[in-house]
């Protein structure tokens, strides 16, 4: 019987292989649809401070959300890996020029004295991932950075995921320390998840 870690590794390989094979034109087209759905969310309109990720290797793009948030006076933060601590810090970003290749070749803000913020102050955190299920379970990249980071979110903070339809499964293997997603946006639907239960589109 495979362990949970082995099940995660196998599923991670399968989904990433499928994602890597997407032509960028398809990634761009689907990302535009997904981001438009996200921009329609009431939570985004009401949010003051949010955390985004810089897309990497065919992840759903976040550029439109970033542009909207900045143009509407919201505070936007991107993660930076803290080497040696296997942790993340979130640094304020004003535009794409503030990002540069960092850990794992992912775009990060430089640690140059710019403003940081604790996750307990965020209204929305958009979390990257490999696969998700309709109960809000997330399969990440196996490093545990976000699992550790979101332990400190405030009650009512929206933990959201942007995903292509094929990344949504009936069930992904999960452990108690794994991030739980409360809203998943794909190109065809929005999944609202409360207390681990799927409650509609």
Answer yes or no: is pLDDT of 178 > 90. no
Q: DSSP readout, the chain? A: ---HHHHHHHHHHHHHHHHHTS-HHHHHHHHHHHHHHHHT-HHHHH-SEEE-----SSPPP-HHHHHHHHHTT-EEEEEEEETTTTEEEEEE-SSGGG-EE-GGG-EE---SS--B--GGG-SEEE---SEEETTSBEE--SS-HHHHHGGGPPTT-EEEEE--GGGEES-----TTS-B-SEEE-SS-EEEEETTEE---
Second CATH level (architecture) for the domain 4-198 = 3-Layer(aba) Sandwich (3.40)
Note the pLDDT of residue 197: 44
pLDDT digits over 85-109, tens only?
Answer: 668 999 999 988 888 888 777 888 9
Note the pLDDT of residue 36: 98
């Amino acid at each position: 019987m495979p362990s949970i870690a082995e099940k995660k590794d196998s599923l991670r390989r399968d989904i990433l292989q499928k994602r890597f094979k997407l032509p960028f034109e398809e990634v761009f087209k689907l990302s535009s649809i997904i981001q438009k759905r996200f921009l329609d969310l009431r939570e985004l309109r009401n949010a003051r401070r949010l955390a985004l990720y810089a897309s990497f290797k065919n992840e759903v793009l976040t550029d439109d959300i970033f542009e909207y948030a900045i143009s509407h006076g919201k505070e936007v933060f991107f993660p930076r890996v803290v080497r040696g601590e296997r942790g993340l810090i979130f640094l304020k970003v004003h535009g794409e020029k503030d990002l540069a290749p960092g850990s794992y070749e992912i775009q990060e803000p430089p640690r140059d004295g710019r403003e940081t913020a604790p996750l307990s102050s965020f209204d929305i955190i958009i979390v990257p991932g490999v696969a998700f299920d309709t109960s809000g379970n997330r399969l990440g990249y196996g490093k545990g950075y976000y699992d550790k980071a979101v332990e400190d979110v405030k009650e009512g903070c929206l933990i959201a995921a942007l995903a292509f339809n094929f990344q949504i499964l009936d069930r992904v293997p999960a452990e108690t320390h794994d991030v739980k997603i409360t809203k998943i946006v794909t190109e065809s639907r929005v999944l609202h998840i409360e207390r681990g239960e799927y409650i509609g589109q």
